[in-house]
Amino acid sequence: MGHSAAVWDYRAATEITKDWNGIDSIVLRNPRGASARVSLHGGQVTSWRNEQGEELLFTSSKAIFKPPKAVRGGIPICFPQFGNCGSLKQHGFARNKIWTVDENPPPLSPSDSHGKSFVDLLLKPSEEDLRCWPHSFEFRLRVSLAADGSLTLISRIRNVNGKPFSFSFAYNTYLSVSDISEVRIEGLETLDYLDNLCHKERFTEQGDAITFESEVDRVYLSTPKVVAVLDHERKRTYVIRKEGLPDVVVWNPWEKQSKSMADFGDEEYKQMLCVNGAAIEKPVTLKPGEEWTGRLELSVVASTLSSEHIDLQQTSNGF
């Protein structure tokens, strides 16, 4: 392309396309050839590719691309409820709605804009939403792609209601992996977790790292700001940095559960892993006029079998 980062036109690197349902998607690109795609259906990131064009997010080959059905893959947003922990349908309604592009969002820090391709989206409740969840809110989402290929999602949820409300939240992040048996997670060892396979009973993680040999569905509590997912076969490590998201959901359906899902291939559990920055155990409560921010940054670094682990205390980009 011949552009240096100094003269790269990030606005020109943002393109609006339509999917096969006629719904707008925004494609973000950086100077090195990395890209991300965000659909107005659900405000959902549906693709994140590195500069070699490799897809870093998993989407099921059997995913149903027909609104209001949420797409199985990418990064669905779970709001105002995660899972079935409240009165709403599974994972709330934000992922099923059509969002709008926010042309004039309240400002964010310059570091969240400078040198990045980004798009701002907005969701406000419909009359239907207010009937099932009677709270007025403004949900602003910024998705940005940096020059180094890292992907950042910033959610800002404001209470524009006359009374307080509470919600749970998750970035339901489907990572693409080579083989789930060759993957491990570092940063969650010794922590307590709620096991959704045991009626949300509380346990303490005993392993040096989390590895996978059967179905896993857990909510890790009081987690650090940085978690690493190491894929030995691809010699690749996903680094997950987060703010405002104290919990981490780890999910892989394994063989039996995979076969029970119509929008998921029987063997696809081998190529995916959900590691979700979340606020679940202690719901977020907002008084009238208050705003909550939940931030997730995903990046990829090269790793080898001999590298024992990433410095999980490292911080960057404001983390």
State residue 305's pLDDT score: 46
58-74 average pLDDT score: 74
Higher pLDDT, 79 or 262: 79
Q: What one-letter code names the amino acid at 19?
A: D
Domain of 196 in residue numbering reads as 14-314
How does pLDDT run across 275-314, given as a tens digit for each residue? Answer: 999 999 999 999 999 999 999 999 999 985 434 555 655 4
- Any domain includes 1: no
| 72 in Cβ contact with 63 (< 8 Å) | yes
- Any domain includes 183: yes
| 46 in Cβ contact with 74 (< 8 Å) | yes
42-46 average pLDDT score: 95
β-pairing verdict for 137-146 and 226-231: unpaired
How does pLDDT run across 2-21, given as a tens digit for each residue? Answer: 333 445 676 667 888 887 77
Residue 155's contacts (CB-CB under 8 Å, 6 or more residues apart) are 77, 79, 139, 140, 141, 169, 171, 293, 294, 295
Annotated ligand binding at 11? The verdict is no
- Any domain includes 256: yes
63-75 average pLDDT score: 73
β-pairing verdict for 14-18 and 24-29: antiparallel
Annotated ligand binding at 156? The verdict is no
- Any domain includes 6: no
- Any domain includes 37: yes
**CA 87 – CA 91 distance, rounded (Å):** 10
- Any domain includes 4: no
Annotated ligand binding at 184? The verdict is no
The confidence band for 86, taking pLDDT boundaries of 50, 70 and 90, is: low
- Any domain includes 170: yes
**CA 248 – CA 193 distance, rounded (Å):** 9
**CA 57 – CA 154 distance, rounded (Å):** 18
Side-chain half-sphere CA neighbours of 114 within 13 A: 5
- Any domain includes 319: no
154-176 average pLDDT score: 96
**CATH code (residue 158):** 2.70.98.10
State residue 19's pLDDT score: 77
Name the domain count of the chain: 1
151-155 average pLDDT score: 98
State residue 306's pLDDT score: 36
Counting every residue, how long is the chain?
319
